[in-house]
Amino acid sequence: MQIFSTITQQLHAPQFEFFRGERVPCFETPSRINIILKEVAARGHQVTNATLDSQHIIECLHSPRYISFLQNAWPEWLRLSLNNVDKQPFPAVWPVRTLRTDRVPENFIAKLGFYSMDNGTPISAGTWLAAKNAADAAYSAADFINQGAHSAFCVTRPPGHHAGYDFMGGYCFINNAGIATEALRKFGCSRVAILDVDYHHGNGTQSLFYERCDVFFTSIHGDPRTEYPFFLGYEDEKGLGEGFGYNLNLPLPAGSTQTQWFNAFDHALNAIRRYQPDALVVSLGLDAYCEDPISTFALSHTDYLTIGKLIGRLNRPTIFILEGGYAVTALGINAANVLEGFENS
């Protein structure tokens, strides 16, 4: 399978995040990509650096003021103090119910709260460039499909599925799956399905396409009653207006078994078959794996072969996009197994 990746992923390298009240090393690291690239290359897949400019697609999905905030965030942080060069900005206040969202504050930390759903999405010097190039890879993969290819895999970071129209969150800044989907639509696909198998609900992706029937979104994830992102991902979210019936959430209790997971997966695949999409975008989070340090599902290495095989049997042009997955040493095997299952379906 053709792999699209980026060198600049390394430049998004925040040092720590908050976890249960403590500063801990980031789970979402550059090594995640390196380990996947090593394994897919060893199994004979072709890796290329993405080159196309996705700026016009980014502008279809994200607000102008959010894009310019992301672009200027690190310089603004340094403007507060040059000592900030080896420090990380974090939001501290959010516009919850009764507070105004029609005024964008000028204070940089307040702006971070305005544009972020959580305090778990740290920014570093190279974040914009890395996120922009990950979107470029998603666009390049869509272009590759448009040229007649059957599949592609974006081995990129930061991930994207938590990022929405004007906010970041859950380690995500630009919605890469959304970029691939929007690009496929522009290239002439009438219907695109998005299958999100990350442990966490793809709240950003859902929200971007919630009122549209040209994009079907389905997701299998930890129940938001107890799992991140908590505030979206329930089964009663079915889409709105023209989009009603084109959103399918399949939340599973924390600690669900492989059987429970594959039952939900079967529902998702059947719904995709009924939708008859021209192309498929897979938000390939690998954090439903049993050893993932921040998740509670039980999938094994071989389950990822099965996932690839069942996706392959949909027999649609398919773009896989890496989302989460934090059991770093297992990521290469699990990612490569999905590709192997897909290609041998």
Nearest to 336 by CA among 47, 9, 8: 47
- In this complex, which beta carbon is closest to Zn ion, that of residue 162 or of residue 316? 162
Question: Buried b / exposed e across 116-132, counting CB within 10 Å, b at 16+?
Answer: bbbebbbbbbbbbbbbb
- In this complex, which beta carbon is closest to ligand Q9C, that of residue 172 or of residue 232? 172
Residue 164's binding partner out of Zn ion, ligand Q9C, none, with CB under 5 to 8 Å set by partner kind = none
# residues contacting Zn ion (CB under 5 A): 6
Q: Which residue is nearest to ligand Q9C (CB)?
A: 324
Give catalytic status of residue 267 as yes or no: no
Stretch that binds Zn ion, among 19-27, 48-56, 263-271, 285-293 (CB under 5 A): 285-293
Residue 171's binding partner out of ligand Q9C, Zn ion, none, with CB under 5 to 8 Å set by partner kind = ligand Q9C
Distance of closest approach, residue 145 Cβ to Zn ion, in angstroms: 24
Distance of closest approach, residue 169 Cβ to ligand Q9C, in angstroms: 8
Residue 120's binding partner out of ligand Q9C, Zn ion, none, with CB under 5 to 8 Å set by partner kind = ligand Q9C
Secondary structure class of 132 (helix, strand, coil): helix
Amino acid of residue 50? A
Residue 227's binding partner out of Zn ion, ligand Q9C, none, with CB under 5 to 8 Å set by partner kind = none
Give the H/E segment covering residue 279. Answer: strand 279-284
| Distance from C-alpha of 143 to C-alpha of 147, rounded to nearest angstrom | 6
Residue 45's binding partner out of ligand Q9C, Zn ion, none, with CB under 5 to 8 Å set by partner kind = none
- In this complex, which beta carbon is closest to Zn ion, that of residue 30 or of residue 105? 30
- Give the list of residues 6+ apart from residue 181 with CB closer than 8 angstroms, or none: 192, 194, 209, 215, 281
Residue 159's binding partner out of Zn ion, ligand Q9C, none, with CB under 5 to 8 Å set by partner kind = ligand Q9C
User: Contact with Zn ion (CB under 5 A): which of 182, 198, 303, 340?
Assistant: 198
| Distance from C-alpha of 166 to C-alpha of 66, rounded to nearest angstrom | 5
Q: Give the DSSP letter of residue 84.
A: G
285 near Zn ion, rule: CB under 5 A: yes
Helix, strand and coil in the chain, % to nearest 5:
40, 15, 40
Distance of closest approach, residue 251 Cβ to ligand Q9C, in angstroms: 15
Q: Which residues contact ligand Q9C (rule: CB under 6 A)?
A: 17-19, 120, 159, 162, 170-172, 198, 200, 228, 285, 287, 294, 323-324
Give the chain's end-to-end CA distance (angstroms, integer): 13
Stretch that binds Zn ion, among 16-24, 63-71, 179-187, 321-329 (CB under 5 A): 321-329
The neighbouring-strand residues paired with 299 are: 289
Residue with token string 């072709």? 46
| Distance from C-alpha of 157 to C-alpha of 29, rounded to nearest angstrom | 9
Distance of closest approach, residue 21 Cβ to ligand Q9C, in angstroms: 10
Nearest to 112 by CA among 137, 80, 136, 85: 80
Distance of closest approach, residue 323 Cβ to Zn ion, in angstroms: 6
CA dihedral 189, 193, 198, 200 (to 10 degrees): 110
User: Contact with Zn ion (CB under 5 A): which of 178, 324, 332, 341?
Assistant: 324
Distance of closest approach, residue 305 Cβ to Zn ion, in angstroms: 20
Please pick, among 45, 62, 161, 162, the residue that the annotation labels catalytic.
Answer: 162
What is the set of active-site residues? 162
Question: Which residues of this protein are in contact with Zn ion, per CB under 5 A?
Answer: 198-200, 285, 287, 324
